Structures are given as structure tokens and as C-alpha cells.
A and B are shown apart, each in its own frame.
Chain A
Amino acid sequence: MLTIKNLEACIEDKAILKGINLNIKPGEVHAIMGPNGSGKSTLANVLAGREEYQITAGTMHYQNVDLAPLTPDERAHLGLFLSFQYPVEIPGVSNLYLLKSALNAKRKHMGLEEIDAIDFLTVVREKMKLLHMDDSYLYRDVNSGFSGGEKKRNEILQLLLLEPSLCVLDETDSGLDIDALRIVAQGINMMRNEKRSILLITHYQRLLDYIKPDVVHILSDGKIVAEGDYQLATVLEAEGYEPFLQKKAGS
């Protein structure tokens, strides 16, 4: 369970998050929607432990562990996974190597032995099949020269392989065509179970047509200004953010 209380964060003295409150229970899927610059990606990065952001107030706990003092890798070991809005290209490091190291880092943390090379290939190929990815992905350098859609698919492949208990998906739908969106959404839906929490960050409703969230939050200027069920996303799609932003201004 993820509990965020009055979280405030800034980057280079610019306040971005101005008091976020969020509770995500095991098995729940939450969506955070909001206009550009509202702080959506900052929230995702602060959760994952990016050092450029400073937490100035508030707390965030996952499974009753305070996340703030933990490094990004320690948070990953705890089960947190961030699917990047812009997955980073890493020339010289093969995708296969990254996948294997990431899985072994997790296994090591769990007190398990490193996975056997053959077993690993079997597992990873199975997951790739689900995402309609061919073998060449393994031998290419991490995200290097990948199209926008390929990069996002690669993020979901890591997600399927690492089986995190908290998935934060930062605009996973951007850069995907309709077919790719369906495949990626299927991948995410496969991960849905009663123990796993998912936080979807998105601009548009279209991802939510495939992955129905339990709760939708609207983020504006670093604060959550509205909350509701899936219907809220439909209202948002019809009316835009403006009424919600005005409501906040009026309140």
C-alpha cells in the first residue's frame, strides 16, 4: 500500500508538488490526469527517487517503509517500478544484459540465486511474445534507435519480467499507435491482480478505455483538485480540464 501525505517537492527552488495526498491499496488501479506542467511526471520521479527533486514537506510510505531516504535501486528492490515517459537510450549496453541484471538484482534482494542463462531466455522470450516483440530486441542496445512505440513496449517488457508490486506508468500511452496501445494495455492488464497496485499517469482517456481505473485523480498546479471513479475521466474527456481548474480557483 502506498500512502502519500502532504507531499511537497521542488526542483532548483521551483515548487512543483504543493501538497499531494494519495492512498493506493493493493489491487487498486489509480489514474492521475492533468494538464501539462501540473506535476504528474514530477510525482512519478519523486516516487522513484530521482535526486534532482527535493522533498520539502510531507511523507511517502510504501508497505509502511519511508521511501524518502531510499536510493532508486532500494526502492526498486522494494517492488516499485517506474515506466519512463522518455525511456533513456543507453548505447553499449545490450537490452538482454539490462533485463538479466535487473532481474538478478531483484532475486539477490529476495535471497535467491542468480537465474540460469537458459531459464532466463525462456522466461524473457515468453514475455516478449505477449508484447509481439521479436528476438532482435534482446541484442539491441537499450532503447538505442528504438522508435517511441518500441521504447514503451520495452518498458512494459521490463515490467512483466520484474513483476513489481507497485507500477508507476508515466504516460505509457504517448507515442503509441492504436495497435501498440492495445498490446501494451493488454500487458498491463495481465499484471493486474489483488496484490499489485498500479498508478497510471496520462493526459488522455484513451488508455483508460483499455485499463479501467478504480480511482481517477485530477492534478493541477501540484495539487489533486478532484477525485472520482472511472466516470470522472469520461467527464474530463467531454469537458476538458478547464471546469476543474476553475473550480479550484473558486474554492
Chain B
Amino acid sequence: MSHDMIPQSLFEACAALPGWNKQLRLEAWKSWQSMAMPTIRDEAWKYTNIARLEKMVFTEVTSTPSTLTLNDIPLTIPENRFCFINGVFNTALSTDLTAGTYLLSKSAWPHIANKHQTPHSYFERLNAAMLNDGLYLDIKSSTHSPIYLVLLQDKTNGLSQHHLRHRIKVHAGVKSEIVIVDWGLADSMNLTTYIMDIELDEGAELNCIHLKKAATKGYHIRQTHSHLAKDSHFNHFNFDFGAKLSRNEISAHLNGEHATCQLNGLALARAQDHIDNQTQIGHLAPKTNSVEQYRGIIDDQACHVFHGHVLIDANAPDSIANQQNKNMLLTSTGQAYAEPQLEIYNQNVQCIHGATVGDIDEEALFYLRSRGLSDEIARQLLIFGFARSILETLADKNLQNELALWIKTHLAIDSELILTAVDF
């Protein structure tokens, strides 16, 4: 039985928490129970097998108090931050921002609930039933930008589960940046669902940078859905450092004329990691523009799935879509699945797409070695160069440098090499 993984008692304890709308939870719980877990027979889950989840039984309702601090993350976290530990908002680690601008925790519930009365997918339904916490960011000015959302996962004794949902609204003409740091401790086993709804009003602009290092044994399922009004711009950067299962479903609905989106991603998968990136871009209005660049570096027995769906509606003439997916396999045992999918209902558009899966370029390797660089350094340079092409699409140089260090540590690349390469 696929629904035994969340015992009824666990749901009831969750539903009994004060401050939430019990009826909505119950409806979501029932709708989740009525739905079978996706399998590899489902198109959207073809390359990602989650059957093992069914055999797990999650036990914890709330976690023991955590001693985690921001120093546990190898990244500078500035002010203007909201921190969640094991799915629950943590006041002590967060910045006290002006009331009214940001609605927090349970008080955000009505705003979030509006958006998910009819949860759609299997994990969206589970998220709605079991929601731990959520945040509503109502961004009316650029004053606090960038805003950091920090999600820490502490060690837990049993199999834990965390469910978060955020809603972000950027008002007309406002420019803002959000950095999401999703950090799981190395040996924890857990299930996380994390859903984010983003709404951009006319002429708004949002940079959304998501850095994810989920727990090695974790199942981490994230959905980011964005809706763009006329002349708005959404730039999403997805840096995923792997997990047992890390799934990112990202959608951009270009609803208004001249709306543009940029979806860039870098998947660094190693050991037994499985990273699954599913993107959907809908060109639903004239003169909309999308650029998408996804790359994967796959080591050991790891796997990267990229499925990129681009829809150009009949009502979206003069639209431009450019999608590129490149994968670098470092071993013969790694796997990469690249699936670009274009659905075009208007002939007066420009669409470019390309997907590649390959090893390290031997020509380039020989070139570097003929200049005196050792095989090891030359390989590291080519691997890092491959990642850097995505890294340098970030405007923030400081963040670029910090991320370069993460990538360095993750790929066991010589630190000197990276720092210098990025400084240039």
C-alpha cells in the first residue's frame, strides 16, 4: 500500500496543530490517499524510480530542538533572511523585518491556501495535507533585496518528513532577488516537499537563486511555479548538489506580452545521486521570450535527468525560445537523460533547442596538456569550465565566488584553480 509511508496518526497529529485550516488539510489528505504514487510508467517519472519510498514509514511529527546555526552552512548568509529548521520557521536565526511587508508562518496560511485549494500532483497533495510551515512574501519595494530563505535540515533519529510552501508576490515595477539555501546534513534520511508559487505583476523582475545540497540519503521534491504578467522578468538559477533523489519541477507561465524568463541550472551528481530536473515554459502571450540553459556533471554511478518542455501557444506570435541542455559524464557508469520537448502552435516564432551528452573533450584535454598542464589539472579545469558557463550567468560576483568554492569542494577540485578561474 503506497500510503502507509505516512501513518494516519501522523496526519492526525499534524491536523491537530492549532492555527491551520483543518478542513483543507483533510481534503488534501483524502485526495492524496486517492492517488497512486507515480511510477516509471508515468511519462513524467520515466527515469526516476521512487518505489523505495513506499517501503518507508515516516514516524516523526516534530523534530527535537535543533542546535544548528548558520555557521553550519559554508556560505555567507547576510541579513534579510528567513530561516526554517526541519520545515519550521526559526525566529532566532531570522531577521526581524518590518511587519506588514512580510507575513510569516501561520499568518501566511490564508495567502498560501488560496493558491492550493486544489492540489494537483501526488506530492503537492501530500504537501497540502502535511504542511509544516510557509511564508508569504509580499514584495512591494526593493528595499530588502536580496532576501535569503534558508532551509536547514538537522539530523533526525527516525525517518523524518518536512513540507513547506511559500508564496511570493512581486508588485508592479519592483525588482527583487531571492536566494534560497537548502542545506541538509550529510547522513540524514528524510522526505521533503517544498513548493513555491511566484507571481510577478506588470514590469516586475525577480532573480531567484536556488542552492540545494539536500541530505545524501534524502528524497527532496521541489516545485517552483511562476506566473508572469506583461513586461515582467523571471530569472531562475537552480544549482543542485545532489541527493539520493533530488527532483526539481520548475514552471514559468509567460502570461503577458513581452514577459521573459531565464531558467538556468547546474546539476552536480556524484556517488549514487539522482537529480531530476523537469522544466516547463509556457509562452501564452505574444512577444514572450525564454532562455534556458541546463548542464549536468555526472560522476560515479550518479544520474541526471533533464526534461524541458516548451509550449508556444497559438496566441503567442513573435515569441522566442532557446533551450540548451549539456551533460558531461565523468565515468562510464554515470547516466544522463536529456529530453527536450517543443510544442508549437504558432508558426511565427523562433525556437532553438539542443541537447548533448558526452565525456570530457579529448581534443581540449590534449590542447591543455600540450601547454604543460598535468592530466589531473587539465581535467579539473575542463570540468570546472563546464560548470562555470552556468555560474557566470549569475550577476552577483560574490555569490559566484562562494558558489565556486562549493563546486570546488563538491568535485574535489584544487582550490587555487577555482578561485583564480572565477576571479577572472
Q: Is B424's CB under 8 angstroms from A162's CB?
A: no
B373→A93 contact, CB < 8 A: no
> Are A76 and B370 in touch, CB under 8 angstroms?
yes
| B381 CB contacts on chain A under 8 angstroms | 93, 97, 101
B421 adjacent to A93 (CB under 8 Å): yes
Chain B 403-424, CB within 8 Å of chain A: the 1/0 string? 0000000000000000011001
On whether the beta carbons of B386 and A92 are closer than 8 Å, the reply is: yes
0 or 1 for each of A33-61: is its CB under 8 Å from B? (1 = yes): 00000000000000011110000000000
A105 near B371 with CB under 8 A, answer yes
Please state if B377 and A84 are interface contacts (CB–CB under 8 Å). no
- Nearest-Cβ distance from residue A114 to partner chain B, whole angstroms: 9
B420 near A73: Cβ-Cβ < 8 Å: no
Judge if A220 is at the interface, Cβ distance under 8 Å: no
- Check if B367 is an interface residue, CB within 8 A of chain A: yes
Residue of B nearest to A96 (CB): B424
B370-A48 in contact (CB<8A)? yes
Q: Which B residue's beta carbon lies closest to that of A52? A: B362
Known contacts A91-B389, A100-B420; is-contact A73 B372 (Cβ 8 Å): yes
Residues B370 and A109 in contact, CB atoms below 8 Å apart: no
Contact: B371 with A87, CB < 8 Å? no
Bound CA span A93–B417, Å: 11
Number of A-B contacts (CB under 8 A): 88
- Asked if A76 contacts B367 (CB within 8 A), the reply is no
Q: Report the minimal beta-carbon distance from A175 to chain B, rounded to whole angstroms.
A: 17
Tell me the smallest distance from the CB of A198 to a CB of chain B, in Å: 17
- A94 and B384 CA atoms in complex are apart in Å by 11
Q: Does B45 contact A (CB under 8 A)?
A: no
Q: CB-nearest residue of chain B relative to A82?
A: B370
At the interface, yes or no: A190 with Cβ under 8 Å from chain B?
no
Which of B364, B370, B384, B424 interacts with A72 by CB under 8 Å? B370
Residues of B within 8 Å of A, CB-based: how many? Answer: 26
Chain A residue with the shortest CB-CB distance to B374: A73
B169 contacts chain A at the CB level, 8 A cutoff: no
Q: Which of B367, B384, B386, B388 contacts A84 (CB 8 A)?
A: B367
Contact present for A158 and B363 (CB under 8 Å): no
State how many angstroms separate the Cβ of B23 from the closest Cβ of chain A.
53
Q: Whole-angstrom distance between the alpha carbons of A105 and B363 in the complex? A: 20
- The complex places the Cα of A224 from the Cα of B292 at a distance, in Å, of 53
Report how far A189 CA is from B375 CA in the complex, Å.
32
B345 CB–A CB distance under 8 Å: no
Contact between B382 and A93 (Cβ–Cβ < 8 Å)?
yes
Name the residue on A nearest B369 (C-beta).
A72
Q: Output the least CB separation between B390 and chain A (Å).
A: 9
B420's partner among A97, A109, A139 (CB-CB below 8 A) is A97
Find chain B residues with CB under 8 A from A249 CB. none
Say if the beta carbon of A232 comes within 8 Å of chain B.
Answer: no
Digitize A117-143: 1 where CB-to-B-CB distance is under 8 Å, 0 elsewhere.
000000000000000000000110100
A85 to B207, CA, bound (A): 43
Complex CA gap A141/B381 in Å reads 12
Inter-chain CA distance A81–B378, complex, in Å, is: 17
Q: Which residues of chain A are within 8 angstroms of B421 by Cβ–Cβ distance?
A: 93-94, 97
Option from A48, A101, A106 in Cβ contact (under 8 Å) with B377: A101
Interface check A102, CB cutoff 8 A: yes
Residue ID in chain A nearest B383 by CB atoms: A92
Counting chain A CB atoms within 10 Å of each CB, the highest count among B361, B367, B377 belongs to B367
Whole-angstrom distance between the Cβ of A159 and the nearest chain B Cβ: 11
By beta carbon, the residue of chain B nearest A141 is B385
Q: Do B424 and A97 have beta carbons less than 8 Å apart?
A: yes
Q: Name the B residues within 8 Å of A92 (CB-CB).
A: 382, 384-389
- By the criterion CB–CB under 8 Å, are A77 and B372 in contact? yes
Q: How far is the CA of A48 from the CA of B370 in the complex (A)?
A: 7
Q: Which residues of A contact B377 (CB under 8 A)?
A: 101, 105
Q: Given the interface contacts A92-B386, A93-B381, A139-B424, does A101 sit within 8 Å of B373 by beta carbon?
A: yes
Which residues of the partner chain A approach B368 to less than 8 Å between Cβ atoms? 90, 98
- Whether A71 sits at the interface, judged by CB under 8 Å, is yes
Expressed in whole angstroms, the minimum distance between the Cβ of B422 and any Cβ of chain A is: 10
The 8 closest A-B pairs by CB, nearest first: A92-B385, A105-B372, A76-B372, A72-B369, A102-B371, A88-B367, A93-B385, A92-B388
**5 A–B contacts from the bound complex (CB under 8 Å):** A50-B366, A91-B385, A92-B384, A105-B373, A141-B385
